[in-house]
Amino acid sequence: MKKILKTVAAVLVAVTLIIVLKNQYGSIFAGNTYGMPTAIEQGEIDHLFIGSSMFRQGMDIDALEENLDGNVYILSYNGNQPVFMAKELEYMLERGLKVKNLYIDFYAYTLTAVPWISDTKMFLDTDLSFKIDAWKTMSQYNDVSLSDFYEMFVTANNEQILMYPINNAIVSSQFRNGGSLLTLNGQTEEYLDTLDLGVRDGLFESQLAGYDRIVELAEEYDINLLFIETPKYEKLLNDTREGSYSDLLAEMVSWAETKNAPYLLAETFDFDHTDGANFQDLIHLSGQGRKTYCKMLAEYISE
Amino acid sequence: MTGTMSTLCFFAVILAVYYMIPVRFRWGLLLAASAVFYASADWKMLFLIGGSIAISYYAGLKMQQAESEKQKKRWMMGCIILLVVILMFFKYFGFFAEAVNNLLGKVGLGSNSGVLQLAMPLGISYYTFKIISYLADIYKEKIEAEKHFGYYALYVSFFPQILCGPIERADHFIPQIKYGCKYEEKLASEGLERIIIGLFKKLAVADRLSLYVGTIFDAPTAYPGLATIMAVFFYSIQIYCDFSGYSDMAIGMAQMLGIRTRENFAYPYFSRSIKEFWTRWHISLSGWLKDYIYIPLGGNRKGKVRKNLNTLATFLVSGIWHGSSLSFVFWGGLHGLWNMISTPKKKDESVWKQILQTLITFCGVTFTWIFFRAKDLTTAVVMIKHAILGFGLSVDQITTSLLPFTGDNTCAAYFLIICLLILFLAVFEWRRTKGKGTSYGWIAAMLAITLLLGQFGSSSFLYGQY
């Protein structure tokens, strides 16, 4: 019995050590064409886009690089929320990244969610201090369980680390300067009309505080800031119920005007919100849609 | 409290108290723990298991005291029929209610809102079989009726075995309780090893596969034929690791309490024939079916035709025991027919022939799992058709087949890890079939892998539903 107990104890010690090391230094296994470590490595970025899947699917790296002066980098995590976008920005700036122009995802639905990291890739990209800070934020607004903690700090990203040579080759080939190279097809209007995203309860103060923090950081580091709404399918825009996308967007616009934060709505452009071929679903652009949109966006920014 | 981690936490608390109290009180602690464990799943069902224990205990005593064979048989049959009716009621109520509703629907009297579905009492299939074997053994005078109600109640409700077995026999279990369960260092050490092996199988392999298998089986035609084939093979691994993983934990927990229990699995996927497979898979159920169905039907004593019919009948009972859907009956029937035509394999075959026989048996068993896992018989047929007609190996089909693992670009890493874990387990089990003991290196690796790659969300056991 002593032998087996010693074995168990030795494994527990070894696993604890591995976990601490992983959480502190795991970012060396992050992809080399996307994510925070790659952004920091660039040293200086002229145009940095930070957002959720709206930016991953909605920002075309080719179109932006072609039409903007200087280098472009897109940092996106699935379900990325303002409260964490602020932390990501602060993390990168504190590690020496210099940014000239910053563009932040102005997406209403991420502000309706309780602070939570749904894309644990963010945990692979950062060190222990970021994780502890993010965990504190999540614990503040959620009833977190031991199982959540275990998933975030122990099991998250282990597959990617263990399979790094293969995983990195596959995943990194799908990105350039953080921009997704995958072009997804559009849908038919008939299909899009069957989709519904319902209504939400309203914007979370803590998420708006995340935007406030981004504004503060931009001022502190002398960065040009612009909040950008990517185009959405017309069905979503036509929905005017309380708690609908349009209703929440109006609240966000009101916030931006109160704070004097510059913003750019998708309606500014002559983009066809009724063409199903421009959308993968109600909120994400297709390959065709993002190319068209990003060309317009880059021209607008350049002017 | 019936998930993997909650069961183990509960066990750890009981174990700590268990060795702090005198030996003569330990059975009482285990009985109380079993009652708490059972009540934590559904306290109302405590009355059902309590009633079943009380009635069968009384029936056992009456059988012992019976003056004639007829009277003895009457007590046994009365009790067994009652228990089987209760089991059938909970197991097949939904099936029959739906059939009647469909029938009434045809004459415009059916309910549109569906039929009432009863919750299955925890472990009812397992404890019913334990009780039946107890009564049958008293009838056959293999054992005497247990006079101590507490010992008997613990035999039926012993918490490590209540979820999915092994289906213990009274003559093996009760004497150990009666003479006191003392701490045995070697047994306890083996028990801890078994728990670690079980955790590895369950959390690192079975639960890791469950999302993929569930996604594909729920909508088989939405994915390429390659994904269907992968899902079927992965289900074969999942059900083995889930069920044998639980059995390892149950056996390990019992061993740590100083109790030896029956084995339930003996590396079944290394079997070279279906006959051999059924001596290695769910051994406690196969043994139960052999002793209480196959042999009473006449076994192999009444000619070849009757032997084959008895085999088929036994497997059909096994299918029905697993569920009310026709696909379970079909699954049982397939195994019955395959057993009838299967012949024992020679021991001195060449290595390559042995490997081929093992592969054929594994693939055959895997094929039959389609009927076991699919929602119904029609879905199973659709899956088989889709696996053949929709099969291809283009880059697009491979990518789409891997994507359900995670839903994003990390699916390849996830797939490779699961393949490595399966290979690791296969090597480990192959070594054990060759009589090589478990070194601490293997145990350490299994524990580390489980801690780093295990799926620790709340999960239930696949075989808990049968």
Residue A74's pLDDT is 98
Residue B252's pLDDT is 97
Higher pLDDT, A219 or B180: A219
Torsion of CA A250, A253, A257, A259, to 10 degrees: 120
The answer to whether the beta carbons of residues A61 and A74 sit under 8 Å apart is yes
**CATH code reported for the domain at A2-302:** 3.40.50.1110
> Is A171 an 8 Å CB contact of chain B?
yes
Residue B396 has pLDDT above 90, yes or no: no
The answer to whether the beta carbons of residues B152 and B30 sit under 8 Å apart is no
Residue with structure tokens 């040009």? A224
Region B375-399: what's the mean pLDDT?
92
d(CA B326, CA B333): 10
Which phi and psi angles does A227 have, rounded to 5°? -90, 130
The answer to whether the beta carbons of residues A104 and A211 sit under 8 Å apart is yes
Tokens of A229: 């709404």
Higher pLDDT, B324 or B246: B246
Q: In what order do the strands lie in the sheet with A263-264?
A: A72-76, A44-51, A98-105, A224-228, A263-264
Residue A265 has pLDDT above 90, yes or no: yes
Lowest mean pLDDT among B62-71, B237-246, B428-437: B428-437
* β-strand partners of A238: none
Tokens of B64: 């012992």
Domain limits of chain B? 11-182, 187-272+345-457+460-464
Q: What is the ipTM of this complex?
A: 0.86
Residue B87's pLDDT is 92
d(CA B180, CA B174): 10
Angle formed at CA B195 by CA B456 and CA B442, multiple of 5 degrees = 95
Residue B114's pLDDT is 61
* β-strand partners of B285: none
Identify all chain A residues contacting B417, using CB atoms and an 8 Å cutoff: 159, 162-163
Residue B458 has pLDDT above 60, yes or no: no
Going by C-alpha positions, the residue among A79, A60, A164, A92 that lies closest to residue A120 is A79
d(CA B143, CA A29): 63
In b/e form, how buried is each residue of B218-248, taking b as 16+ CB within 10 angstroms? Answer: eebeebbbbbbbbbbbbbbbbbbbbbbbbbb
d(CA A80, CA A59): 15
Amino acid in position B415: F
Residue of A nearest to B183 (CA): A1
Residue A61's pLDDT is 96
Identify all chain B residues contacting A13, using CB atoms and an 8 Å cutoff: none
Residue B71 has pLDDT above 60, yes or no: yes
The fraction of chain A above a pLDDT of 90, given in percent, is: 88
Cis bond before residue B166 (omega within 30° of 0): yes
Write out pLDDT tens, residues B197-223.
999 999 999 999 999 999 999 998 999
Contacts of B385 (CB under 8 A, 6+ apart): none
Region A59-69: what's the mean pLDDT?
96
> Is A18 an 8 Å CB contact of chain B?
yes
Indicate the pLDDT class of residue B102, thresholds 50, 70 and 90.
confident
Region A148-164: what's the mean pLDDT?
93
Tokens of B40: 């934590």
Identify all chain A residues contacting B193, using CB atoms and an 8 Å cutoff: 4
Kind and range of the H or E element at A114? none
Indicate the pLDDT class of residue B460, thresholds 50, 70 and 90.
low
Just list the catalytic residues of B: 322
The answer to whether the beta carbons of residues B176 and B421 sit under 8 Å apart is no
* CB within 8 Å: A155 and B453: yes
d(CA A290, CA B244): 50
Region A191-208: what's the mean pLDDT?
90
Residue B113's pLDDT is 61
Residue B459's pLDDT is 62
Residue B1 has pLDDT above 80, yes or no: no
| Minimal C-alpha gap between B446 and chain A (Å) | 10
Region B367-378: what's the mean pLDDT?
95
Please give the biggest Cα pair distance in chain B: 76
| Minimal C-alpha gap between A71 and chain B (Å) | 25
User: What are the residue ranges of helices labelled H in B219-263?
Assistant: 225-256
* CB within 8 Å: B452 and A18: yes
Going by C-alpha positions, the residue among A197, A196, A201 that lies closest to residue A243 is A201
Look up the pTM and report it. 0.89
Going by C-alpha positions, the residue among B215, B466, B190, B216 that lies closest to residue B331 is B466
Residue with structure tokens 């200087």? A70
Indicate the pLDDT class of residue B305, thresholds 50, 70 and 90.
very high
